[in-house]
């Protein structure tokens, strides 16, 4: 794990292969550090002209040619890391890339740790922590919508929103703390109204950012959905219909699915992790019992449960008779399957939080109703194209929740002159929570956790 404090002002030169393992048309070795002229002279036999592509021979310590390719040199501070950066683009074979990397290490570099290039960019104020995390999010994006939102964050849209709110909080704190410094001057009605309006405005802005961040979190994390129900109600057929593939075995024999089967699809760019589970019933089959135990565990870890019922049967087992361990707050959809046997049309019935959808997992009738309801429950808005959405992580959501809580606490103390100290403290805590998002007040151990999950070479 990276220890960020170690690299503050660290003169070490780091190097790593920045392209994925395996064979490819091009392979890249990236080097970063202070004063790369000696290393460049050793590997290239010359110092490349800044920001120009040079066709060069890459040399070993005996001046033997390792490879021929393109060298790019970016002197500090105008580089990705804010240090001197040298990129060597050669042929993408594992052997030649490792030879080139080893020569860089022999010439004075050390092997970079995961995320260390981006960490140095952050420590050298080239990017903030939100932008640094968005680099990893772009690489990990599974859908075009997720990639687009990660690009928005990398370009600073999320950071700008956060910094604007921090500035508003600082201004408000200055007004209140100035009054604390001169206690003989009480806050008059005009000032109290000004404070309230400013606080209400900041709170409203936080609510909007939190809503956008939640949707961005969906793009990154996705939704875990468990398909549950008695045996032979069509769970595997529904899985196959959703993934548009034969992911699960479908037979007329109850208990065919003995273990959980997981597949991931994308609906409107949102990753949907669908888990087909063993049918829930009383059984003496030891293997089936194990599958049912895993079904219960999957339900507990899911974001949403879809309960399937064979709608063609007059008497069907209700979920309350089989399963009593679904948390009440966990979103649920009840599906009445096999409407094709009843010659019925798909439909949806909604009564408060009781959602019922009638469909056919065999023919696909009503599947679109289900898809749209899943995203609606998850909080996604259709046709928004990712505009105004930030690629948020769980830590961002937690920080925004803390900020909201402290602002709501502060709103309680506006009318009370004797509690101005508490009001000022709540605003300070709100600012601290907000600043942790961009990394202005972030512990080293959190930075280490964040950057250790990056790939080596980035």
Distance CA 26, CA 93 (A): 8
pLDDT at 240: 84
What's the average model confidence in pLDDT over 243-269? 59
Whichever domain contains 317, its CATH number is: 3.40.50.300
Q: Is residue 232 part of a domain?
A: yes
Q: What is the mean pLDDT of the chain?
A: 80
- More reliable by pLDDT, 38 or 183: 38
Same domain, 277 and 359: yes
Q: Is residue 250 part of a domain?
A: yes
Same domain, 97 and 197: no
Same domain, 293 and 259: yes
HEC assignment per residue over the chain: CCCHHHHCCCCCCEEEECCCCCCEEEEEEEEEECCCHHHHHHHHCCCCCCCCCEEEEEECCCCCEEEEEEEEEECCCCCCCCCEEEEEEEEECHHHHHHHHHHHHHCCCEECCCCHHHHHHHHCCCCCHHHHHHHHHHHHCCCHHHHHHHHHHHCCHHHHHHHHHHHHHHHHHHHHHHHHHCCCCCCCHHHHHHHHHHHHHHHHHHHHHHHHHHHHHHHHHCEEEEEEECCCCCHHHHHHHHHCCCCCCCCCCCCCCCCCEEEEEEECCEEEEEEECCCCCCCCCHHHHHHHHHHHHHHHHCCEEEEEEECCCCCCCCHHHHCCCCCCCCCEEEEEECHHHCCCCCEEEEECCEEEEECCCCCCCCHHHHHHHHHHHHCCCCCCCCCCCCCCCHHHHHHHHHHHHHHHHHHCCCCCHHHHHHHHHHHHHHHHHHHHHHCCCCCHHHHHHHHCCCCCCC
Q: Is residue 385 part of a domain?
A: no
Same domain, 165 and 276: no
Same domain, 157 and 248: no
Same domain, 59 and 98: yes
What's the average model confidence in pLDDT over 327-338? 82
Q: Which one of 81, 97, 127 terminates a domain?
A: 127
Same domain, 226 and 195: no
Q: Is residue 330 part of a domain?
A: yes
Residue 197's contacts (CB-CB under 8 Å, 6 or more residues apart) are none
Whichever domain contains 415, its CATH number is: 1.20.120.430
Same domain, 253 and 353: yes
pTM over 0.85: no
pLDDT at 317: 57
Distance CA 36, CA 252 (A): 69
Same domain, 231 and 199: no
Q: Is residue 177 part of a domain?
A: yes
Q: Is residue 248 part of a domain?
A: yes
Domain span at residue 106 reads 4-127
Q: Is residue 448 part of a domain?
A: no
Whichever domain contains 11, its CATH number is: 3.30.1360.120
Checking if the pLDDT of 458 tops 70, the result is yes
pLDDT at 30: 96
Which tens digit of pLDDT belongs to each residue from 68-119?
Answer: 999 999 999 999 999 999 999 999 999 999 999 999 999 999 999 998 999 9
Same domain, 257 and 328: yes
Q: Which one of 127, 153, 183 terminates a domain?
A: 127
- More reliable by pLDDT, 445 or 437: 437
Checking if the pLDDT of 164 tops 60, the result is yes
Checking if the pLDDT of 185 tops 60, the result is no
Checking if the pLDDT of 359 tops 60, the result is yes
Same domain, 256 and 373: yes
Judged by average pLDDT, the poorest of 35-44, 133-142, 358-367, 383-392 is 383-392
Same domain, 16 and 114: yes
pLDDT at 204: 92
- With a pLDDT cut of 70, the percent of the chain lying above it is 78
Q: Is residue 393 part of a domain?
A: no
pLDDT at 390: 73
- Total domains in the fold of the chain: 3
Phi and psi, residue 240, nearest 5°? -60, -35
Which tens digit of pLDDT belongs to each residue from 208-218?
Answer: 888 888 777 77
């Amino acid at each position: 794990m990276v220890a960020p404090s170690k690299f503050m002002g660290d003169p070490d030169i780091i190097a790593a292969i920045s392209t994925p393992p395996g064979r490819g048309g091009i392979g890249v070795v990236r080097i970063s550090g202070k004063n790369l002229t000696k290393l460049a002279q050793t590997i290239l036999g010359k110092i490349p002209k800044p920001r120009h592509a040079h066709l060069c021979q890459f040399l070993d310590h005996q001046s033997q040619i390792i490879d021929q390719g393109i060298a790019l040199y970016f002197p500090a501070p105008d580089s990705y890391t804010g240090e001197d950066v040298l990129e060597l683009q050669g042929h993408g074979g594992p052997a030649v890339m490792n030879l080139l990397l080893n020569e860089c290490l022999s010439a004075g570099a050390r092997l970079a740790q995961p995320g260390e290039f981006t960490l140095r960019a952050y420590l050298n104020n080239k990017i903030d922590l939100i932008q640094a995390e968005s680099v990893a999010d772009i690489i990990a994006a599974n859908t075009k919508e997720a990639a687009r939102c990660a690009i928005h964050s990398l370009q600073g849209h999320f950071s700008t929103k956060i910094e604007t709110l921090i500035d508003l909080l600082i201004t408000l704190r200055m007004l209140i703390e100035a009054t604390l410094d001169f206690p003989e001057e009480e806050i008059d009605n005009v000032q109290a109204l000004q404070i309230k309006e400013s606080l209400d405005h900041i709170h409203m802005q936080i609510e909007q950012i939190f809503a956008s961040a939640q949707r961005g979190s969906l793009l990154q994390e996705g939704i875990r959905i468990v398909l549950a129900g008695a045996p032979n109600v069509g769970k595997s057929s529904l899985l196959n219909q959703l993934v548009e593939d034969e992911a699960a075995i479908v037979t007329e024999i109850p208990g065919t699915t003995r273990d959980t089967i997981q597949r991931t699809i994308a609906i409107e760019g949102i990753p949907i992790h669908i888990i087909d589970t063993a049918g829930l019933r009383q059984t003496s089959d030891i293997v089936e019992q194990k599958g049912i135990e895993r079904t219960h565990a999957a339900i507990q870890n899911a974001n949403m449960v879809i309960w399937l019922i064979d709608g063609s049967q007059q008497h069907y087992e209700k979920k309350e008779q089989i399963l009593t361990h679904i948390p009440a707050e966990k979103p649920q959809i009840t599906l009445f399957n096999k409407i094709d046997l009843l010659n019925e049309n798909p439909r949806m019935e909604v009564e408060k939080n009781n959602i019922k959808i009638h469909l056919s997992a065999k023919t696909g009738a009503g599947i679109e109703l289900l898809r749209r309801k899943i995203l609606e429950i998850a909080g996604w808005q259709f046709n928004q194209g990712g505009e105004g959405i930030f690629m948020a992580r769980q830590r961002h959501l937690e920080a925004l929740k803390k900020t909201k809580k402290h602002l709501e606490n502060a709103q309680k103390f506006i009318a009370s002159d004797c509690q101005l100290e508490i009001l000022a403290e709540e605003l300070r805590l709100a600012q601290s929570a907000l600043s942790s998002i961009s990394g202005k007040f972030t512990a080293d151990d959190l930075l280490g956790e964040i950057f250790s999950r990056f790939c080596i070479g980035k």
